[in-house]
């Protein structure tokens, strides 16, 4: 006598369960990635008693996205000029120096170097 094969209920008929006409699919809401939480954390470090409106947060988020895109574009161009296919911290640093004026670029470079050093030390 041949062994019996267990049949699952969903395999019978080979079709998925049919939904009635009135039922809707559960759709996951589209998630929008923003820098809001990070902007808020920095605000609280600098001015603990100050809040920020939704409109101001939207403007700050647009600003961060714009600067990020400018730095990435400039770093990409620098890598292409040097016939490299990888954007390294050196390209990012040079892009920041080219894009940001004077004292602002010096602060940005020093903060970036500090963050990179901290990251490398933590990953060892």
d(CA 58, CA 26): 29
Q: Which residues of 97-124 are buried (b: 16+ CB within 10 A; e: fewer)?
A: eebbeeeeeeebbeeeeeeeeeeeeeee
Kindly report the CATH number assigned to the domain that includes residue 75.
Answer: 1.10.20.10
Report the predicted TM-score, pTM, of the whole model to 2 decimal places: 0.73
At 3-17, the pLDDT tens digits run 555 555 555 556 666
Torsion angle of the four alpha carbons 113, 114, 119, 122, in this order, in degrees rounded to the nearest 10: 140
At 17-33, the pLDDT tens digits run 666 666 777 888 888 88
Residue 59 is part of which domain span? Answer: 33-123
In a domain, 114, yes or no: yes
Number of domains in the chain: 1
């Amino acid at each position: 006598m041949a062994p019996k094969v267990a049949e699952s209920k969903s395999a019978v008929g080979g079709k998925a369960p049919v939904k009635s006409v009135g039922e809707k699919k559960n759709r996951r809401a589209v998630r929008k990635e923003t820098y809001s939480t990070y902007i808020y954390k920095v605000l609280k470090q600098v001015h603990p008693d100050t809040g920020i409106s939704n409109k101001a947060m939207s403007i700050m988020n647009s600003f961060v996205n714009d600067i990020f895109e400018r730095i990435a574009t400039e770093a990409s161009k620098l890598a292409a000029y040097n016939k490299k296919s990888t954007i390294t911290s050196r390209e990012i640093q040079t892009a920041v120096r080219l894009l940001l004026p004077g004292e602002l670029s010096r602060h940005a470079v020093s903060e970036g170097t500090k963050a990179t050093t901290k990251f490398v030390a933590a990953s060892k």
